[in-house]
Amino acid sequence: MITVTNNSGGGQPVSMANIGAASALCRKYGVPFYLDACRFAENAWFIKLREEGYADKTPLEIAQEMFSYVDGCTMSAKKDGLANIDGFLALNDDDLAQRCKNMEILGEGFPTYGGLAGYDLEAIAVGLDEVLQEDYLHYRIRSVEYLGECLAQANIPFVKPTGGHALYIDAKAMLSHIPWNEYPAWALAVVLYVEGGVRSVGIGSVMFGRQPDGSEKPAAMELVRLAFPRRVYTQSHVDYLAEVLLYVNDLRDRIRGLRMTYDPAVLRHFTAHFEPAYGQMVVD
């Protein structure tokens, strides 16, 4: 499976050459090949902008080529489906699809609706069409790029180039005084919320630190993901977000780390509990 775009790697796109080469390798060894396609339209737009030979193709044409290389895809429609809920599984293998339909009837509902209301199905159908419109994609990607320009002027470290659905702050660099086991990414996320009401998420040692043998080690990156909801933010929202980030950057030397108080066995980045390691998040 290839995820387009790469969420945990900073929202970076996957080239068509990469997708095609991975497809050829999988077919050589008889391995099914799938896309996690929740941001397929943004990936198609980046291919158009950055990959040689695609500048004159439409996002739809690029997306169709992407899907031609795979045996199926998973899709969270809350992303590039522009819907508020659910998603779908698409498969080329009719026998496998039928087996999945049988399981769906047991757990979700009949295959014609999958447990969804009719208006949600209609929203997904419309969203998959509208998400490939060039004016929409241009505005969305430009909004994230604009935020990156604001941060660059303030020397706030982030993953470059900016991605499509989010901007990723390098919390390891920004809060270099906080050790990895006090979770600098999550510390920054907490302060952003307390100081400015900005919701974000840490992608670092909380998510990737635990090893198969139960030990802990630092993750390669400590990132804070600022994801952009689709068709929600105006330019004023982005400007406010920039103001909060610049304000918190001024506090960076006073921000302290976190201590994990509840460490669940699985998916701890969703349900772990924390408290300030030194009694308060921002030290006067």
**What CATH number did the domain enclosing 188 receive?**
3.90.1150.10
Asked if residues 91 and 41 have their Cβ atoms less than 8 Å apart, the reply is no
Residue 282 lies in a domain: no
State the residue for tokens 């900073």: 10
Residue 31 lies in a domain: yes
Across the chain, which has 284 residues, the per-10-residue mean pLDDT values are 85 94 97 96 96 97 98 94 90 94 85 84 93 95 95 96 92 96 96 96 92 91 92 92 97 95 91 93 85
Q: What pLDDT is recorded for position 10? A: 73
Q: What pLDDT is recorded for position 107? A: 82
Asked if residues 178 and 255 have their Cβ atoms less than 8 Å apart, the reply is yes
Does residue 159 sit in the same domain as residue 118?
Answer: no
Amino acid at 197: G
Residue 247 lies in a domain: yes
Does residue 166 sit in the same domain as residue 250?
Answer: yes
Q: What is the CA radius of gyration of the chain?
A: 21
Does residue 254 sit in the same domain as residue 218?
Answer: yes
Residue 236 lies in a domain: yes
Residues of the domain holding 263: 134-276
Does residue 139 sit in the same domain as residue 112?
Answer: no
Kindly report each contact of residues 242-247 with a partner whose C-beta sits within 8 Å and lies 24 or more positions away, as own/partner.
242/147, 242/150, 242/151, 243/196, 244/192, 244/195, 244/196, 244/197, 244/198, 245/150, 245/151, 245/154, 245/156, 245/169, 245/192, 245/198, 246/150, 246/154, 246/156, 247/195, 247/196
Does residue 67 sit in the same domain as residue 126?
Answer: yes
HEC states along the chain?
Answer: CEECCECCCCCECCCHHHHHHHHHHHHHCCCCCEEECCCHHHHHHHHHHHCCCCCCCCHHHHHHHHHHCCCEEEEECCCCCCCCCCEEEEECCHHHHHHHHHHHHHHCCCCCCCCCCHHHHHHHHHHHHHCCCHHHHHHHHHHHHHHHHHHHHCCCCECCCCCCCEEEEEHHHHCCCCCHHHCHHHHHHHHHHHHHCCCCEEECHHHHCECCCCCECCCCCCEEEEECCCCCCCHHHHHHHHHHHHHHHHCHHHECCEEEEECCCCCHHHHCEEEECCCCCECC
Does residue 21 sit in the same domain as residue 81?
Answer: yes
Does residue 167 sit in the same domain as residue 119?
Answer: no
Look at residues 79, 96, 130 and tell me which one is the last residue of a structural domain: 130
Which residues sit opposite 91 in a β-bridge?
72
Q: What pLDDT is recorded for position 218? A: 93
What is the CATH number for 64? 3.40.640.10
Look at residues 109, 130, 151 and tell me which one is the last residue of a structural domain: 130
Residue 281 lies in a domain: no
Look at residues 130, 163, 181 and tell me which one is the last residue of a structural domain: 130
Does residue 202 sit in the same domain as residue 272?
Answer: yes
Length of the chain: 284
Amino acid at 185: A
Q: What pLDDT is recorded for position 27? A: 96
Asked if residues 33 and 71 have their Cβ atoms less than 8 Å apart, the reply is yes
Q: What pLDDT is recorded for position 11? A: 80
- Indicate the burial class of 75 (C-beta count within 10 angstroms; 0-12, 13-18, 19 or more): buried
The total number of structural domains in the chain stands at 2
> Which tokens in the block code for residue 67?
């899907």
Q: What pLDDT is recorded for position 148? A: 96
